[in-house]
Chains A and B, each alone.
Chain A
Amino acid sequence: MTSAERHPLFVATGTEQVPDRPALVGGRCTCGHVFFPMQTYGCEKCGRYGGHLETTPLAGRGRLIAFAQVHLHARPEPKVPFTVVAVALDDGPIIRALLNPPVDPELRHGDVMVAEIVSVPREVGTRPTLRLTRNATGGR
């Protein structure tokens, strides 16, 4: 990913705790509330906005709390079957993302999940997107 196509939701550089995985671009309010994705509209906890909300990288790692393999989808993309996961990030927020690979029969609740950047096709060329994958080296 070049700096010219910097993505608003993730960066290739990891955090101190998880340096080898891309980080998610989260936000932190001066009240302490941590959220994803980053925005400056206002804090859901206290209502502070603008400069009170700062970008904070969230480690690209968490625990799997739920997953669903999608069999029927009205749109052409993503192609079925694909899997949606809900993951509680080490850094707090619960996020939902697509799984890579699209189907993983070994997936279990409680698995350690990590972020990775993959290229998906678009009308012309490809674009980078963030997917979550089961951590092959980590336990449960």
Chain B
Amino acid sequence: MARHLSSLRPVYVVGVGWHRYQPPSETPYVALGLKAVRDALADARLEWPAVESTYVATARLGMACGRPMLRHLGALGRPLVHIENASASGSAAFRLACTEVAAGLSDVVLAVGVDKVSDRLRASSQIGLQSLTGSAIVPATHYALLMSEYAQRHKVRPEDIALVAVKNHRNGARNENAQRRKERTLEEVLGGKRVSGTLTSLQCTPIGEGAAAVIVASEDGVKRYGIDASRTIRVVASAANSEMVGHDENRDAAITQAAMAAAFAEAQIAPSDLDVVELHDAFTIEEIEYAEATGICQPGRFIPMLEEGAFDIGGKCAISPSGGLIAMGHPIGPTGLGQIGEITLQLRGEAGARQQPHARTGLAHMVGVGAVCYVHILQRV
């Protein structure tokens, strides 16, 4: 019978690193990626030859971006593979890196996400079927529609939903790797450019580039390289799924709910055990829908709890302490790995000005168009 990741060899996050997420620039992707990998190696106090295998997450760079980047660390002949899974590319690379270690095929594995902005077409425009809307529905409008439905169902106002952005910009202002590092008042969020429906630009993730890297290791790897065990963070659940028939309108929340339930069952914890959570909050409404889908709060209860401070740093469960996709940014390939990095810092107690006190259990969640969903739960041992 098939088994969970957590029933195989234990897997630990031992190193994390970033190249800051930022607006499109002239910096080549190679420089972005190398910065993140070297920082992750330094964080783990490992040398590059320790890394036995690499997963490169990218959605927009095109074919075979990994070798031209990794060779500058020393071309040692180790295997590498590229992972594209839309917004969840980094999460998919992380899951595969964990799987390789858990299965016993390697003791130290790198997952690195790197991306720059490009105008490459999505496959969904080439499926050979027409649609009534063509290219008229961009992601902001998809989520503006979900926002319209949620606002009607739970009788909430646009200014209630915008509070998510106020919280996430406040968190992002404390994160040196965030693309947006400025606190915003509710008036500023609501007064920004109107995008689609009741979404304003400060409630939408910015377009940008960057890199994030995570190194995972087995117990053997931790011992062999003398890695500081007090800074290792265990991966206690990994769940992944894709869209199910019958969820035409709110597929992202439906698959989130299913993946969350599978991850909680694997980790044998309840949503109330979570101290810190990173969600796919590319648009404010997403954080609300996904938080309710986790069971952290009941449907329709997110906004009252947000207003009470339950999801602030220092609250019951800090949500998007990094600033989330709204403030930290969403360069696509790196994003899911950046979430793992943030949870790792939080569980080590190394998150500085945005530290959630006494954080022991954290969760990272991404969806990608398609739709696909990933949930990982991490725990301080």
Contacts and interface: CB of A to CB of B under 8 A. Distances in A.
B133 A86 contact: no
A8 B132 CA distance: 10
Nearest to A78: B136
A84 B136 contact: yes
A63 to B, nearest CB: 12
A97 B137 CA distance: 9
A45 B244 CA distance: 9
B133 A84 contact: yes
Contact of A71 (B130, B137, B149, B194): B194
Interface string B121-160: 0000000011111011110110011111100100000000
A37 B136 contact: no
A93 B131 CA distance: 14
A84 B129 contact: no
Interface in A29-87: 33, 37, 39, 44-45, 65-75, 78, 82, 84, 86
Interface in B72-122: none
Contacts of B146: 66
A1 interface: no
B197 interface: yes
B2 interface: no
Given A33-B245, A86-B145, A96-B145, A68 B196 contact: yes
B248 A93 contact: yes
Contacts of A70: 136, 141, 144, 195-197
Specify which of B131, B136, B245, B246 lies most central, judged by the most chain A CB atoms within 10 Å of its CB: B136
B193 interface: yes
A69 B197 contact: yes
Contact of B141 (A44, A68, A93): A68
Contacts of A82: 136
Interface in B307-363: none
A62 B219 CA distance: 58
Contact of A39 (B129, B137, B194): B129
A86 B136 contact: no
A65 B149 contact: yes
Contacts of B228: none
Contacts of B130: 8-9, 37
Contact of B148 (A9, A66, A94, A129): A66
5 contacts: A66-B146, A68-B147, A72-B196, A94-B248, A97-B132
